[in-house]
Amino acid sequence: MLFIKHITLVILMHIPITISAYQGTIESNSPGTRWGHVLVYDQFRDQLVLFGGSRERGIYLNDTWIWDGQNWTEMQVKSPTARGFCAATFHKERNSIILHGGRGNNRTTFSDTWEWNGKQWTQLEAEGKYKADHHQMVYVDYEKQIVAFGGWNGKDVMGDTWVWNGDWQKSNELSPPKRASFGMVYNIKTQEINLFGGLWVNGQYADLWERTNGTWQAIGNPYDNSSLDHHAMIYDEKLQKVIGFGGKDYRRQMQNKTFNINNGLIETLTTEGPVNRHSFGFTYNSKNQLGFLYGGKIYKEDNQLALGDFWKWDGTKWNKIE
């Protein structure tokens, strides 16, 4: 394993910040302002699914919304406990969305696993072996299983790889250094998992990693790229590239860069589009070959402000969805 030096920074989840008013208004026909939610494209039903998140620090939501391409609809269903910073992905074999863990009220870190079948949530596991928030997971086509990494377990940042195909099993593979709040996506073209950046308790990462056939490999040197956390990435099938957006740097400055991974380096494509933010929802509609971004968080005068805007990425530029 490659050991990486760290840029000193206290992880966000330990920074006390005063709360004030939200950014924007909450419309009855939309999910409204929020950060730390999940946004996943349901390939089987051709719709976006948004769940949870927060409008105030430490106070989480448990609502479920569907975007059918024209309108948002709140689903009146029994949902997982209120939470944010979960990991979620579409499972192609089950034709459903799998959601795991997250952070709830009173700083609770969850280990449960849920499934969304388009109509209802079903709890698949109440207390699992893998407890995490601020982690990531993706469905790997050729393995026909979910691969998850890292996160915060309520006491420490983790650096373990886990797999799920009905239950969680900890992998014995050598993994990247422990971290949370990183970007991770499955690259359909190369059949690799791409991981970039993130935080540990005393530092921030600028490194890139790839995982193929159960093996993680560091790509390039630790400081080849600028450090980043709380960003998100998709695989753009039209461009056949991993596309990332937003996050914050080691000075806690919000970013508005749309970037891609090119030959092991982070390359900025544009700064036009959504304003600087982090902890937003970002997913890819493979049918229409569009990326969708919703909400997020900004800082203003040491206050946390939730955003409620909705954007689409067409492979070249961003357009706001009214």
- Cα dihedral 90, 95, 100, 104 in deg (nearest 10): 90
Quote the pTM value.
0.91
pLDDT of residue 316: 96
Please give the full DSSP string across 73-110, using - where no structure is assigned.
EEE-S--SPS-BS-EEEEETTTTEEEEE--B-GGGPBP
Q: CB under 8 Å to 10, separation ≥6 — which residues?
A: 201, 202
pLDDT tens-place values along the chain, 322 residues long: 333 334 333 333 333 332 333 334 444 589 999 999 999 999 999 999 999 999 998 899 999 999 999 999 999 999 999 999 999 999 999 999 999 999 999 999 999 999 999 999 999 999 999 999 999 999 999 999 999 999 999 999 999 999 999 999 999 999 999 999 999 999 999 999 999 999 998 899 999 999 999 999 999 999 999 999 999 999 999 999 999 999 999 888 999 999 999 999 999 999 999 999 999 999 999 999 999 999 999 988 878 899 999 999 999 999 999 8
Residue 301: which residues within 8 A CB-CB, separation 6 or more?
A: none
Contact 140, 91 (CB under 8 A): no
Cα dihedral 14, 20, 23, 28, rounded to 10, equals: 110
76: exposed, middle or buried (Cβ count in 10 Å: 0-12, 13-18, 19+): exposed
Task: Give the CA dihedral 22, 26, 133, 86, nearest 10 degrees.
Answer: -160
Can you say how many angstroms the Cα of residue 178 is from the centroid of all Cα atoms in its chain? Answer: 17
Which of 222, 259, 87, 63 is closest to 162 using CA atoms? 87
Q: What is the pLDDT of residue 28?
A: 57
Spatial CA neighbour of 165 closest among 185, 148, 183, 151:
148
DSSP-derived 3-state class of residue 14? helix
- pLDDT reported for residue 262: 92
Q: Give residue 157's pLDDT.
A: 97
The DSSP 8-state label assigned to residue 276 in this structure reads S
296 touches 314 (CB < 8 A): no
